[in-house]
Amino acid sequence: MNLTKPFYLLMALTFLSSPVLALTPEERGLEIAREAKQRDSGWADMQAEMLMVLRNKQGEESVREIRIKSLEQEGDGDKSLTIFDKPLDVKGTAFLSFSHPLEADDQWLYLPALKRVKRISSRNKSGPFMGSEFAYEDLSSFEIEKYSYKYIKDESCDGGACFVVEQYPVDKDSGYTRRVAWIDQNHYRVWKVDFYDRKNSLLKTLTFKGYQQYLDNYWRADLQQMQNHQNGKSTELKWSGYQFRVGLNDADFNKNTLKRAR
C-alpha cells in the first residue's frame, strides 16, 4: 500500500497538469476568459460616472456626461440603468437594459420631453453609442458565452506579461469578425483590444489606463481610449466616482426607476 502512494500522487499530478499541457489554443483562450470572468464576479452592484469625449479628425470635441448603475445577476447578464446628463438636449433621457448572454437584451428608453417609456430593439449591437466610436456591444457586460476563443501567444503589454487572445463574436449581428485582447497574466485585466470589422480589417483599438482596485478585488480602468483607424475619430471614456456594493437591488431597475432616473 505504501509503495503505491507515490504512484497515486504521480497519477494525480499527471491528471492535474496534463490538461494544461494538452490544452488546444481554443481551450486555453476559453480558460483565460473564464478566469477573467471568475475574478471579476461577486461585485454585486456598482455605480459610476462617465465623461465621454468625442474627437473628430480635426480634433473638435463634443462631450457627453453619463451615469451608470449596474446590478450583477447570477446566471444571467447584468441589469443596468444609464442616465444622460449631457448633451443638454438629451438631459433626463435614461436607458434600462437587462442583458442576456445569448438571447437578445431587453431594453427600454425613457424620453423625458414626452414622459414616454419606449421598448426598443436591442439588435443594434454594432451601431455607435451616442455618436461615439464605441459601439453598443463594446459597452455591454462581458459574458463568456458571447464569444468563442483562441489563445495566440504571450506578449508583454502595459500591464506586464500578457496573454494575447482572439475572441470571435457568436452573435451574427456583431460588427466584428474578431477582437484581439491583451490580458495581463497577473490580474487578468484587459489592457488593449483590437477590433476587426466584418471585412476582417483593423477598425479600432481600445486601450485601458489607470487601473484602480476596488473592494480589494475588482479592477476598473479610469481611462478608456478608443481610436478608430479607418475614420480618424477617437473617443475617450473617463470614469469617476466608482462605488461598489451601494445596496442596489432588482427594485432599482424597472420602468418606474427609469422614469425618475436623473
Q: Contact 242/212 with Cβ under 8 angstroms? A: yes
How far apart (Å, rounded) are the C-alpha atoms in residues 137 and 129? 9
Radius of gyration of the chain (CA): 21
> Measured from the CB atom, is 245 or 255 closer to other proteins?
255
DSSP 114-132: TTEEEEE-S---SSBSTTS
> Measured from the CB atom, is 30 or 96 closer to other proteins?
96
* Distances in whole angstroms, Cα of residue 192 to Cα of each of 43, 160, 241: 23, 12, 23
What minimum distance in Å lies between the beta carbon of 122 and other proteins? 8
What minimum distance in Å lies between the beta carbon of 99 and other proteins? 14
> Measured from the CB atom, is 84 or 188 closer to other proteins?
84
> Measured from the CB atom, is 34 or 262 closer to other proteins?
262
What minimum distance in Å lies between the beta carbon of 46 and other proteins? 17
Element (H, E) at 184: strand 178-184
Element (H, E) at 6: helix 4-22
> Measured from the CB atom, is 205 or 254 closer to other proteins?
254
What minimum distance in Å lies between the beta carbon of 119 and other proteins? 5
What minimum distance in Å lies between the beta carbon of 127 and other proteins? 6
With b meaning 16 or more CB within 10 Å and e meaning fewer, what string describes 78-96?
A: bbbbbbbbeeeebebbbbb
Q: Which residues bind other proteins (CB under 8 A)?
A: 54, 56, 62-63, 86-91, 104, 106, 114-121, 123-124, 126-128, 130-132, 173, 175, 198, 251, 254-256, 260, 262
